[in-house]
Structure 1
Amino acid sequence: MIVIGTLEDGAAYEVEITGREDRPVIGSRRVRALIEQYTGQPVLLSPLGPQRTLEPTDKEAVIAVLRAHTSVVEVS
């Protein structure tokens, strides 16, 4: 799964969401650091829920963190 977006400072990113424990995203060190920062914390999958604990293998939760903390342009 590929996600394209921009970070808060306007820097563009394109990452692959792998669903792997050791490397949940490939393509941007900054996005990987963001995911590592929120791993183990609760995240809303949509604005009104449900809520899950972010695990690197949970692709939906990883995308939810990206939607919450960056501007996601495309998910394919």
Structure 2
Amino acid sequence: MLVTGMLEDGAAYQVDVTGQEGQPIVGSRRVRALVEQYAGQSVLLGPLGPQRDLEVTDTAAVIALLRQHTTVVEVRS
């Protein structure tokens, strides 16, 4: 899935959320570091849930994390 957005400091990013263990994020080292930092922690998939632990291979959880910590502008499959 191709995700376009902005980080908190206003820097734009465009990443491919691959769902692969070895390379879950392609396109931005900062976004990849963010995902790796939160791996194993709980993330809400929607405003009220459900909640599950972030696995880097779980594309829905990764995108939910990006929505919580960045401004996601577009998600394309």
Task: Please give the range of the TM-score, normalised by the shorter of the 2 chains.
Answer: over 0.9
Report what 2:20 is aligned to.
Answer: 20
Is 1:67 equivalent to 2:71 in the alignment? no
When normalised by structure 1's length, the TM-score is 0.99
Report what 1:39 is aligned to.
Answer: 39
Report what 1:48 is aligned to.
Answer: 48
Q: CA deviation at 1:22?
A: 1.0
Q: CA deviation at 1:26?
A: 0.2
CA-based RMSD of the aligned residues comes to 0.3
Identical aligned residues as a percent? 70
| Number of residue pairs aligned between Structure 1 and Structure 2 | 76
Runs of 4+ with >6 A deviation: none
When normalised by structure 2's length, the TM-score is 0.98
Deviations 1:17-56 (A, max 9, x none): 0000111110000000000000000000001000010001
Gaps spanning 5+ residues in structure 2: where? none
